[in-house]
Amino acid sequence: MKFNKICIIGLGYIGLPTASTFAVNGVKVLGVDINTKVVDALKKGEIIIHEPGLRDVVAQAIDSGNLSASTKPEEADAFLIAVPTPFKEHEYGDFGGRRYKLADMGAVITATQAIVPFLRKGNLVVLESTSPPRTTIDLVAPILERSGLKAGTDFFLCYSPERVLPGQILRELIENARVIGGVTPESAKAGHDLYATFVKGKIIETDATTAEMVKIMENTTRDVNIAIANEFARLAEKFGVDVWEAISLANLHPRINILSPGPGVGGHCISVDPWFFVEAAPELTPLIYHARHVNDTQPHFVVEKVKQALGGLSGKKIAALGLAYKPDVDDLRESPATEIVYLLQNEGAQVRAWEPFKPDAKLDRISMATGLQDAIKDVEMILLLVRHTEFGALKPGEIASQTKARIAMDTVNAWKMDEWQKAGFQFHRLGDSKSPTLAPGASTGVVNQKS
Ligand code: SAJ
């Protein structure tokens, strides 16, 4: 099947890279977003999100004349839906005392409804947004069929999950294997033809519900694996062990690959998607539920550790380094770092936050520093929350001369203990109760030779 023009609804972290990649590969693309800021920026060749390489591809796409933007769809050969599927903010489900989050499918519904007036016989519609199992069949198809056309017969309908890693989206979009789940085999074939425009990885056809499940299984597996790493960190603190050392030793086993503990799991994917399984079948998902619970409570674990190190939080001044949900991205959504700042402040601490990837972020009740020095100069503790490359490269000797702080805490294993101690800091690391927390010379009762 040949696609001359496609319409992509949702110009966020997935929709915009996808739209630009199609456009630079010779397809006419109309990018649609209800946010006029996004559309106006794109019309001027600008973007309002940070993703390595995206600015250049968008510029190329616009220069080619193939990418345009609007707030409304138009007729096209194919429609792609790439809108967010967050969870509801104030509504929860309950299964025997297990409180779980609920998917907010509002954006998928609105996007699907927007396509209906423009849907024609022979068109292809693809849902890319991560969605609960059966969404394509039970939610999207009935809305599209209000056009009078039948899914799988008059038009093709697929679910094809995006699986790209923020920070590497443009490369992974092209190189990753692509799963295409059709409501009929013919739909899957049409989806295959569309993505073959630029996908170099394998393109595999299956049914729509399998494809939906594949996506949530991937992110759920990662979430559960991070939860066990976080639980190991808690255990290590109880038993006088350095979890980072223990993990690196366990990972020497040929079939073990333990992930990294940290301040919690954030972002709009891994911290959200497992709830789709829990909501769809709470009676079948105790493990997935508890893993989510462990990761969601990890910020509280960090706050307790900070409290112990400072001997209380009230009135304590802390510099929080990093607010993003993970290293080297500007995305603050569902960020555990941000939650930690709020939790510290709720207990009376005064926090100055520095996020080099989003220095202008305006967050309710968070005092943003204008730079590293501004963040650290007048505090008691430097708290590392995100493993940004530039934070890993900080020189404790230089930091010591720019701050009053003599306590440093690393929640992501980016810093070398001996360097910070040599520079005169009391050093704490998440998951490491083996490390002496006081500077050399002071008596701790615990001796550690490691760095
Ligand atoms: N994290 C840890 N420990 C680790 C790895 C990650 O605490 O060992 C934390 C990160 O700091 C972050 C969170 O987990 O807060 C999620 O980060 P991530 O890099 O694992 O994943 P995302 O959310 O950026 O992207 C994931 C990817 N899924 C998988 O790796 C299975 C990506 O391929 C998906 O396309 C994306 O979700 C998505 O859009 O669903």
Measure Cα distances from 233 to 79, 247, 419, 431, 433 in Å: 45, 9, 22, 4, 9
* pLDDT-above-70 percentage for the chain: 96
Q: Which residues pair with 206 in a beta bridge?
A: 181
Say yes or no: CB of residue 266 within 6 Å of ligand 1: yes
pLDDT at 268: 87
How many A from CA of 307 to the centre of ligand 1? 28
Which one-letter DSSP state was computed for residue 440?
T
Residue 146 CA to chain centroid, in angstroms?
34
Q: Which residue from 326, 339, 386, 412 has its CB within 8 A of the most atoms of ligand 1, so it is best to mutate? A: 326
- Reply yes or no on whether the pLDDT at 158 is more than 90: yes
Q: What Rg value do the Cα atoms of the chain yield, rounded?
A: 24
Note the residue count of the chain. Answer: 451
pLDDT at 451: 37
Q: Which residue from 214, 221, 269 has its CB within 8 A of the most atoms of ligand 1, so it is best to mutate? A: 269
Tokens representing 160 are: 């094809």
List 269, 305, 326, 434, catalytic entry: 269
Would residue 7 show up in a list of annotated catalytic residues for this protein?
A: no
pLDDT at 435: 66
Tokens representing 381 are: 């503790």
Tokens representing 351 are: 């926090």
pLDDT in tens, 245-281: 999 999 999 999 999 999 999 998 999 999 999 999 9
How many A from CA of 270 to the centre of ligand 1? 6
pLDDT at 229: 98
State the CB neighbour count (10 A cutoff) for residue 120. 12
pLDDT in tens, 5-32: 999 999 999 999 999 999 999 999 999 9
How many A from CA of 84 to the centre of ligand 1? 16
pLDDT in tens, 286-342: 999 999 999 999 999 999 999 999 999 999 999 999 999 999 988 998 999 999 999
pLDDT in tens, 384-423: 999 999 999 999 999 999 999 999 999 999 999 999 999 9
Report which ligand 1 atom has the smallest distance to the Cα of 329.
24
Is-contact 384 321, C-beta < 8 A? yes
Which one-letter DSSP state was computed for residue 129?
S
Is-contact 121 154, C-beta < 8 A? yes
Say yes or no: CB of residue 218 within 6 Å of ligand 1: yes
Say yes or no: CB of residue 181 within 6 Å of ligand 1: no
Report which ligand 1 atom has the smallest distance to the Cα of 14.
39
Q: Which residue from 178, 270, 384, 386 has its CB within 8 A of the most atoms of ligand 1, so it is best to mutate? A: 270
